[in-house]
Amino acid sequence: MWFETLIREETGCATYMIGCQRTGDCMVFDPLWDIQPYLKMAKKKKSKIKYVIDSHSHADQISGARRLAEETGAELMLPELAEISYEATRLKGGDEIRMGGVGLRVFHAPGHRPEQINLLVIDYPRGEEPWAMLTADFVMVGDVARPDLAQGGESGADQLFNDSIPRFLELPDHVEVYPGHLAGST
C-alpha cells in the first residue's frame, strides 16, 4: 500500500490518500476545495482515484469531495447519518472498503458531528489488524474535537466521552493517529 498526507499550510488541514500498487486504485479522505493536489498525486503514483470519502459535513472547510468525484468518476461516499441533498454511497460503522491488499474499515464516532466517521487502515500483507486510523475531526494529537457543532452540543459531548472515546481507547496502542487538523489550524 501507499499512504500520503497532503496538507494545506494556510489552515493546517490534512487530507489523506491511500492506494494499492497492485490494483492501481486509491482513495481520498476529506479532500479540500482545491482538487489539483489530489489529481497530481494520483498521477505521480500512477493510480486511479476510485473512492472519495467525506468524514462528516464540514463546518470549518469547503469540501472538494463532490467536484473531485465528478472530475475522476470516483465513487462518492459519506456517512449514513450525513444530512445531504445529493447522491452518495453511505457508510456505517463496521463497513470495509477493499482495494487489493488495503482495507479501510469504518469507525463511527459521533460527538464532533453525529455522523462523523473515521477509517481504520489495514495493510493485509502486513497483518490483519489496523495499523492506523484517519481520525478526521474526532481525535487530534493530544486533544479531541469540539462537540458543539451539532444541534444539541451537550449530547455531542455526551456521545464523545461516553461512547466514541471509550471505543477508541480499546484499540491497540500501536494504532497511529492521523487527524484532519495539524499545527497551524484555527
Contact positions vs Fe ion (CB under 5 A): 137
Q: How far is the CB of 98 from Fe ion (least distance, A)?
A: 27
Residue nearest to Fe ion (CB): 137
Distances 113 to 11, 15, 39, 56, 68 between C-alpha atoms, Å: 20, 18, 28, 7, 23
Q: Where are the alpha helices (DSSP H) in 86-172?
A: 153-159, 165-169
CB of 71 to Fe ion, least distance (A): 23
- The beta-strand segments (E) located in 80-169 are 89-91, 96-99, 102-108, 117-123, 132-136, 139-140, 143-144
The full length of the chain comes to: 186
Beta partners for residue 6, in sequence order: 15
Residue 73 C-beta: closest distance to Fe ion, Å: 27
Tell me the closest approach of the beta carbon of residue 142 to Fe ion, in angstroms. 17
Nearer to Fe ion (CB atom), residue 103 or residue 147:
147
Closer to Fe ion by Cβ: residue 11 or 23: 11
- Cβ atoms of 164 and 109 closer than 8 Å: yes
User: What nine digits make up the cell of 52?
Assistant: 472519495
Choice between 20 and 107, CB closer to Fe ion: 107
Q: Pick the closer one to Fe ion by CB: 98 or 146.
A: 146
